[in-house]
Structure 1
Amino acid sequence: MPALNSSAARAAAGPCMGAPAADSTIYGETRQFVDTQAWWMPDTDQANNSITNTGHAHLGACIPEHETISSGNLTVNVRVILHDNPGTANYVAMVFKTSDTETTVQKCYLRATAPNFGCPGPSGAGTGDFTCIGTCERWLTFSHPISAFNHSGLQDVRFRGFVLEPHGNEMQPSFNWQVNIQNGKSASDISRNAFLRGKGWYTHALYCEASLRSLPLPDGPVSGIWTPAVGLTTHSGGSRPATHSFISIDPDFHAVPANPGRVLWDAAGPFGPEPFGSAPVAIDTSTLANGVHKLHLRTSCRDDKLGSTNSGVTVIPFTVAN
């Protein structure tokens, strides 16, 4: 991948922290590969069948979280993964949200035969047509002028994926993050829910969210006891309540058997006070090898009407140097 020049101000150019090998881009500012996931899988006492278990859908990207971009385009490569998901991936949308507007600025469709790192249009049927057996990935590249933000200052960027599942239900992985835009327009920082949020959405269950409240993401290594604040709590707007919360380091749920990693929290209910609260999680980095690790945050929201459980996952890289 080529270098992308997006006029960084806060940090030197370089590769993305925690990026998969497929994205070897040299970015114009510090970026971290944040992965968000939607899960629709039954709890242990719920029936496991083709309706209650449609696996995972991921959206991941090297994001310039809280970095400064002052000219040109905001360019982001987005990885889409389907894992044991029988659905058809349709498209991913990039949304610019300011204090007074929310605009879908670009749609890239998931096409079975399209090359990676492009932005395909829809099929002849007007939709995407990407399906998968097992685990499959596709990469999309979004690029849109920062002049499309109607304000400068801290602005919100959102990516939303759409997967049509069998029987007509829909799964939507999505995530929100913030970037400092300096485009010469009037200053107006976004303030509502201005933190890193990974969400799973499913028909009827609506949203289930796992969020990181300690911002910005660490550009450099952490050491000793690192205590980021996280929120694994109820989402607003009629969504199902948080019924389970889970935090671990370096899990791999695609492995056979699944590897839960170093589990820091695994309990019924939310993590953090309801509603919309957060709490610190203590990570003793001296017990981890130096290098890049992944903090996995998962909130699960049981839906008894549909007989399964919706989960939202956020995975954040961090570097240890003790």
Structure 2
Amino acid sequence: MAFKRFLALVIGVVLTCTFMPALNSGIAHAAAGPCIGAPPADGTAYAETRQFVDTQAWWMPDVDQPNNSTTNAGHVHLGACIPERETISSGNVTVNVRVILHDNPGKANYVSMVFKTPDSETTVQKCYLRATAKNFTCPGPSSTGKGDFVCTGTCERWLTFSWPISSFNHSGLEEVRLRGYVPQPGGKEMLANFNWQANIQNGKSLSNVSRDPFLRGKGWYTHALYCEASLRSLPLPDGPVSGIWTPSVGLTTHPDASLPATHSFISIDPDFHAVPPNRGTVLWDAAGPYGPEPFGAAPISIDTRTLANGLHKLHLRTSCRDDTLGSTNSGVTVIPFTVAN
């Protein structure tokens, strides 16, 4: 870890000296680093170490609930290389967001980026999901004023968000929220929600966001509302972990009138799109939340010595059963980590 940070510092100094004429004097720039777990499509050279975190919303029936076109809307994913807890001191917050629809009958509308501080919440940018738009752009709406992206099976789109940090009304630990809207047949709506924090230094008054300042993915569905999977051990590891790694996680409902968590699941390296589905190395699979409701957390012990060295993914899923609508809302967060023993 120490060597990695030292090497990143040296690289950052070399790059800074090389490109000094293009930089504003007196502004601190984070050292360049990789995006851990980035899909091949996103080859961006970011200005700081980032992690590709994937969040998902599921609307799928439990084993004893009927499986039909109303109760099964598959998944919607929002994933991005995020500068979680990194310092951004100039320019824009820029993120490439991957959107995946999997067996989802809806017509995807748009993804919004929201800047959240202790006393404001502002939607700064909307990128619409269009059937014919190029990847890594921010399309506007169709002639109907909405998105028009539909999918059979599994489909992927990339959106690029970029907005000035001057739009935050404070400096300090501030929050970025990504929200993906997918209206469903019959008038219901499905949302994937992704909340993370960064250290914004834009010269304004210091005021750190304090309401639930942790990494979380939330599934939202009409009537069921939110179901959330969160990581409380922050910041995310910029370098390899070894031995026994014990992150703190919360797999619970949301306190704003949402349904209670009825099941929680934690696994390493699952692949639910495989045929048959691969559950990975299951660490927890039980009724109820993991951590006390609402918004509680508890440690999970991961013996990295049982894993091969290299990249792995920690899958956190919270399910909130909705007996009124006859299906189950789930929120998923998938965090990459590297093992080196």
TM-score, scaled relative to structure 2: 0.91
CA distance in 2, matches of 1:104, 1:254: 32
Aligned residue number for residue 168 of structure 2: 149
SS at match of 2:205: coil
Among residues 184, 208, 227, which one is paired with 1:189 in the alignment? 208
The answer to whether the Cα contact below 8 Å between 1:158 and 1:177 also exists between their aligned partners in 2 is yes
> What is the letter of the counterpart of residue 157 of structure 1?
V
Instruction: Please say if 1:173 is aligned against 2:199.
Output: no
CA distance in 2, matches of 1:77, 1:270: 31
SS at match of 2:108: strand
SS at match of 1:286: helix
Aligned residue number for residue 111 of structure 1: 130
CA distance in 2, matches of 1:292, 1:151: 36
**For structure 1, which segment, 266-275 or 184-193, has the greater mean C-alpha deviation from structure 2 after superposition?**
266-275
1:208-229: per-residue Cα shift (whole Å, max 9, x none)?
0000000000000000000000
> What is the letter of the counterpart of residue 256 of structure 1?
V
CA distance in 2, matches of 1:315, 1:90: 23
CA distance in 2, matches of 1:238, 1:60: 26
CA distance in 1, matches of 2:34, 2:96: 13
Aligned residue number for residue 111 of structure 2: 92
Among residues 302, 314, 320, which one is paired with 1:283 in the alignment? 302
Aligned residue number for residue 211 of structure 1: 230
The answer to whether the Cα contact below 8 Å between 1:6 and 1:73 also exists between their aligned partners in 2 is no
The answer to whether the Cα contact below 8 Å between 1:65 and 1:177 also exists between their aligned partners in 2 is yes
SS at match of 2:123: strand
1:123-171: per-residue Cα shift (whole Å, max 9, x none)?
0000000000000000000000000000000000000000011111100
Instruction: Tell me by how many angstroms 1:64 deviates.
Output: 0.1
Instruction: Tell me by how many angstroms 1:15 deviates.
Output: 2.7
The answer to whether the Cα contact below 8 Å between 2:30 and 2:88 also exists between their aligned partners in 1 is no
Distance 1:102-1:26 versus aligned 2 partners, 3 A rule:
same
1:98-130: per-residue Cα shift (whole Å, max 9, x none)?
010000000000000000000000000000000
Instruction: Please say if 1:237 is aligned against 2:271.
Output: no
Aligned residue number for residue 134 of structure 1: 153
Matches within 5 A, 1:246-261: 246-261=265-280
1:231-289: per-residue Cα shift (whole Å, max 9, x none)?
00121111110000000000011111111100000000000122211000000000101
Instruction: Tell me by how many angstroms 1:12 deviates.
Output: 2.8
Matches within 5 A, 1:222-233: 222-233=241-252
CA distance in 2, matches of 1:218, 1:9: 22
> What is the letter of the counterpart of residue 105 of structure 2?
P
The answer to whether the Cα contact below 8 Å between 1:6 and 1:69 also exists between their aligned partners in 2 is no
CA distance in 2, matches of 1:307, 1:6: 57
> What is the letter of the counterpart of residue 194 of structure 1?
P
TM-score, scaled relative to structure 1: 0.97
Instruction: Please say if 1:317 is aligned against 2:336.
Output: yes
Instruction: Tell me by how many angstroms 1:9 deviates.
Output: 6.0
Matches within 5 A, 1:16-55: 16-55=35-74
Structure 1: any 5+ residue segments left out of the alignment? none
The number of residue pairs the alignment matches comes to 318
The answer to whether the Cα contact below 8 Å between 2:29 and 2:89 also exists between their aligned partners in 1 is no
Distance 1:6-1:195 versus aligned 2 partners, 3 A rule:
farther
Aligned residue number for residue 161 of structure 1: 180
Larger radius of gyration: 2
CA distance in 2, matches of 1:9, 1:272: 39
**For structure 1, which segment, 250-259 or 240-249, has the greater mean C-alpha deviation from structure 2 after superposition?**
250-259
The answer to whether the Cα contact below 8 Å between 1:6 and 1:74 also exists between their aligned partners in 2 is no
Instruction: Tell me by how many angstroms 1:82 deviates.
Output: 0.1
Please state which structure has a larger fraction of its residues in helix: 2
SS at match of 1:139: strand
Distance 1:164-1:6 versus aligned 2 partners, 3 A rule:
farther
> What is the letter of the counterpart of residue 117 of structure 2?
T
Report percent identity of matched pairs. 81
SS at match of 2:195: strand
Aligned residue number for residue 18 of structure 2: none
Instruction: Tell me by how many angstroms 1:10 deviates.
Output: 8.4
CA distance in 2, matches of 1:56, 1:213: 24
Matches within 5 A, 1:266-281: 266-281=285-300
The answer to whether the Cα contact below 8 Å between 1:225 and 1:285 also exists between their aligned partners in 2 is yes
> What is the letter of the counterpart of residue 135 of structure 1?
T
